Amino acid sequence: MCGRIAFFKSKKKVINELQIDKWDEYQYSSDYNIVPSNKLYVLTSKKSLRVVNSMTWGIIPKRLKKKRLINARIETLQQKSSFRNLLKTNRCLIVCDGYYEWKREDKNKVPYYFSKEDDEIMFFAAIHQNNQFCIITKEATEKVSSIHHREPLIVNQSQINNYLNIKKDAMEILNSIKPPNLKFYEISKDVNNPVNNDPAIIKPVN
């Protein structure tokens, strides 16, 4: 499961580091508390060019009408025709700094912030349709499973071109990916309210 994301790296750093050819969204602002149905910055490939634009988090299939699908399990991607077809033709990567997950403790849910140990940009494997996207998730590693049993499938920077290239087998690429080293720590329950959107919400709880 992945239901809340943070993205606050500078636009200049992202463009330079990822060698972005085109950034469709002319406005950019840091966002520490992105929720489903919000827009996120998404990396796609168009004629071998790296393009960043904004898409809405959550695909609404025609059969479900109003229900947004924000995550798709890698284990069942090929069993669902709608997802299987999108994986063949509509791949994208979600660009972010980190994400949030909640650990169940008795009747309480305790929030944690996850990021890469080196604090570099993260890329979540995803699929898109009609300017909407859905994040691909996998079973959590032993380390992450202490908080939650699922985690987003994070693509290494060296595998970006391979994943976005629709001529290549996406499942083969995804199944070969080794998860990066993540760090996580407990944060304030202020994150529960999307109105709270500033650096303070990713500070560790003392």
CA distance 126 to 7: 16
The Cα–Cα gap between 32 and 44 comes to 22
| Beta-bridge mates of residue 124 | 94, 154
Report the pLDDT value the prediction gives residue 25, as an integer from 0 to 100.
Answer: 67
pLDDT tens-digit readout, 44-59? 998 889 999 899 999 9
Using the predicted structure, report yes or no on whether residue 173 has a pLDDT greater than 70: yes
pTM given for the model: 0.94
- Residue 82 scores a pLDDT above 80: no
The H or E element that residue 86 is part of is helix 81-89
Ramachandran category for residue 196: left, alpha or beta (phi over 0 → left; psi -120 to 50 → alpha): beta
The mean pLDDT value of the chain amounts to: 91
What tokens does 98 get? 């980190």
pLDDT band at residue 80, thresholds of 50, 70 and 90? confident
pLDDT-derived band at 65 (thresholds 50, 70, 90) equals low
Q: For 22-38, what is the mean pLDDT? A: 86
Residues 98-127, buried b or exposed e (16+ Cβ, 10 A)? bbbbbeeeeeeeebbbbbeeeeebbbbbbb
Residue 64 has pLDDT above 70, yes or no: no
Q: Compute the distance between CA of residue 1 and CA of residue 100 in angstroms, rounded to an integer.
A: 10
Q: pLDDT tens-digit profile of 86-133?
A: 999 999 999 999 999 999 988 899 999 999 999 999 999 999 999 999
Q: Phi and psi at residue 128, in whole multiples of 5°?
A: -140, 160
Q: Per DSSP, which regions of 24-175 are E strands?
A: 31-34, 39-46, 49-57, 71-73, 91-96, 98-105, 108-116, 122-129, 132-139, 150-152
Helix (H) or strand (E) holding 16: helix 11-18
